[in-house]
Chains A and B, each alone.
Chain A
Amino acid sequence: NAGVTQTPKFQVLKTGQSMTLQCAQDMNHEYMSWYRQDPGMGLRLIHYSVGAGITDQGEVPNGYNVSRSTTEDFPLRLLSAAPSQTSVYFCASTPTGRNYEQYFGPGTRLTVT
């Protein structure tokens, strides 16, 4: 298994540009989530999904959209990037029946200028 994969590893955007951060897992996990990590603030939940077709907002959802058309993929979209979205983004998935044991991807470092 490749586990949780994220692309790209690094990205620089200009203010107002849009982009999609990709997240995929090959472990057949139902629960997936997106976090952002900022210095001194730990990880904050952006959006999560409990299964294909079902998504919900986390702590800091503004400026981000998600969809879950398949079990494997959970992309995060930035519609109009802002400097405040400069961060490291982590995707995670959780095995069915083993709640809370989240498996994290390697992260995407995003800079918005």
Chain B
Amino acid sequence: AQSVTQPDIHITVSEGASLELRCNYSYGATPYLFWYVQSPGQGLQLLLKYFSGDTLVQGIKGFEAEFKRSQSSFNLRKPSVHWSDAAEYFCAVAPFGNEKLTFGTGTRLTIIP
């Protein structure tokens, strides 16, 4: 069965600084990979997804993620964070041909002025 690890429970970043959130997956083949964001008191919103092809994918709100097969990673990045990026971020994986997502435990992002 597939699994997802987000090693950082909580990250604090200064506004304007760069951001990288880590995600590692375990799966026999290349799965479909996703990043979702959850603002306080809200449901989850899809930031970006990777199915195949170019390993650097662009998402909404200025986020990008890079798939690295050799490291089984799919880290999320943003060059300059804004206070509105404060939220919880979830990495998720789905086997090919299966809509059943497996989520990581999430990383809470705090932005300081």
Contact = CB atoms under 8 A, between A and B. Distances in A.
A104 B45 contact: yes
A107 B101 contact: no
Contacts, number: 54
Interface residues of B, number: 21
Given A40-B105, A42-B104, A106 B42 contact: yes
A42 to B, nearest CB: 4
B44 interface: yes
Interface of B: 4, 9, 32, 34, 41-46, 49, 90, 94, 99-106
12 contacts: A42-B90, A42-B105, A43-B90, A43-B101, A48-B100, A90-B44, A100-B101, A102-B101, A105-B43, A106-B41, A106-B43, A107-B43
